[in-house]
Homo-oligomer: A and B are copies of this chain.
């Protein structure tokens, strides 16, 4: 069999004329047919996981661009570096401990944390690991945006390792692992339903969002942002980067949401298609709403809020993407647009400085999206996606069980992440320090932390000084 496979590989590569079907032996007996069917099913589902995970990984580029576009040019190298390393360190750390804490099924595992599968030992389900890792990388990447332009690089490295390796995996275990105490996938889920968070409004976005909020508060506002009761705007240096980033995130979100079916066979394809549609509608509604609101408020439509609105809509639909009807997805997106516009203003009022809007996008809409499941999930779709017929959206007459369970999920996550990240940032602050010096903040983190400007030429567009700037030592 293995020889056959390698031969088929050879045939496929070597003979341009070879038909692609040679891999399948002439199966005729019922058992052989069944084996073929099983193989095709596994192949199809695995392919979907790989394709979806690749799309989600692409979101790293989206986050990098949005964050880079929304900060000032003197801090661009720094924010890019952080986004690049979220992926690099994330891969190591999640492989070593994160995945095991989330999904390890060894004896030691409880409803509160997983155990086993550290370093993938004894586990060969690589497709699942790959898919779960890209989600972990997403959660970690949310924090850097909220703490941009003033956080020490060494502090960043420490916190990103702990978020990917510890804080995020624990919540994943609770809500997505079959043993988790809050999961919908237990035999005896809480309130007969468990927390319904299809692709991670809470598990991914709120986790990142809570850590972002705690971090933004603990590191303090950027110098000059709140002065004498006045709020100063620090416009991002490049809108094209921001727009491209948002489009990449939107595209990647199909991997994030639709990919969370984890397969295509057994009717999952139908769910995946519906998920793609609700995702699209919520994104569009969020962007359109934020745009219109900004237009009404200031007489001019605000692209930066529109971009935040799209992301807000996407986060808001993430939990309920499989259980909300399309019309409900639009409702979720419209509310998300409002949350963005007023949430951004609220943070200013509270003097919390979040340069890229990570808190309104990921935390506030992560909470809203999780609640929206409890409010708007349809009876038929709760049955279709979760096999639950006892409760559905409160506003559609499905009773309070689902809604209350969602609240518990939100609260449990809040307590854990706020505590854990509060301690984490507190220790960092007390030891290596969380914030750069004033001089460094003035000059920009790029030169002090990395000795490297994002656009080293004089004008960004042409460099008469280039011959000079390169005088070697």
Contact = CB atoms under 8 A, between A and B. Distances in A.
Interface stretch (A32-40, A370-378, A402-410): A32-40
Contacts of A37: 24, 27, 33, 36-37, 40
A425 B24 CA distance: 47
Contacts of A38: 21, 24
Contact of A61 (B46, B248, B273, B304): B248
B84 A240 contact: no
A111 B36 CA distance: 35
A85 B240 CA distance: 15
A2 B300 CA distance: 49
Contacts of A77: 239, 303
B326 A452 contact: no
Contact of A34 (B26, B58, B301): B26
Contacts of A247: 58, 60-61, 64, 84
A466 interface: yes
A20 B7 contact: no
A455 B461 contact: yes
- Give how many copies assemble into the complex: 3
A434 B25 CA distance: 54
B14 A46 contact: no
Contact of A457 (B72, B233, B452): B72
Give 10 nearest A-B pairs by CB, closest first: A14-B178, A460-B461, A10-B185, A91-B284, A6-B387, A61-B247, A455-B461, A460-B460, A23-B266, A127-B273
Interface string A428-465: 00000000000000000000011111111111111100
17 contacts: A3-B387, A4-B266, A9-B185, A14-B105, A14-B185, A16-B125, A16-B128, A39-B265, A54-B55, A54-B254, A54-B276, A64-B243, A74-B463, A80-B243, A88-B284, A92-B281, A120-B277
Interface stretch (A204-212, A285-293, A338-346): A285-293
| Majority secondary structure of chain A interface residues (helix, strand, loop or mixed) | helix
Interface stretch (A256-264, A361-369, A416-424): A256-264
Contact of A269 (B46, B123, B180): B46
Given A266-B23, A385-B6, A84 B178 contact: no
Nearest to A46: B269
Contact of A5 (B41, B268, B291): B268
A18 to B, nearest CB: 7
A388 B472 CA distance: 52
A413 interface: no
A54 B251 contact: yes
Given A21-B42, A47-B264, A235-B469, 18 more contacts: A4-B387, A6-B388, A9-B385, A10-B184, A16-B99, A23-B265, A24-B266, A33-B34, A39-B265, A43-B268, A54-B254, A57-B250, A73-B457, A80-B240, A90-B284, A127-B269, A238-B455, A300-B452
A258 B73 CA distance: 37
Contact of A461 (B88, B120, B306, B458): B458
A27 B35 CA distance: 10
Nearest to A462: B73
Given A13-B262, A46-B273, A454-B239, A88 B41 contact: no
Contacts of A218: none
A301 B450 contact: yes
Contacts of A327: 119
A123 B276 CA distance: 15
A440 to B, nearest CB: 12
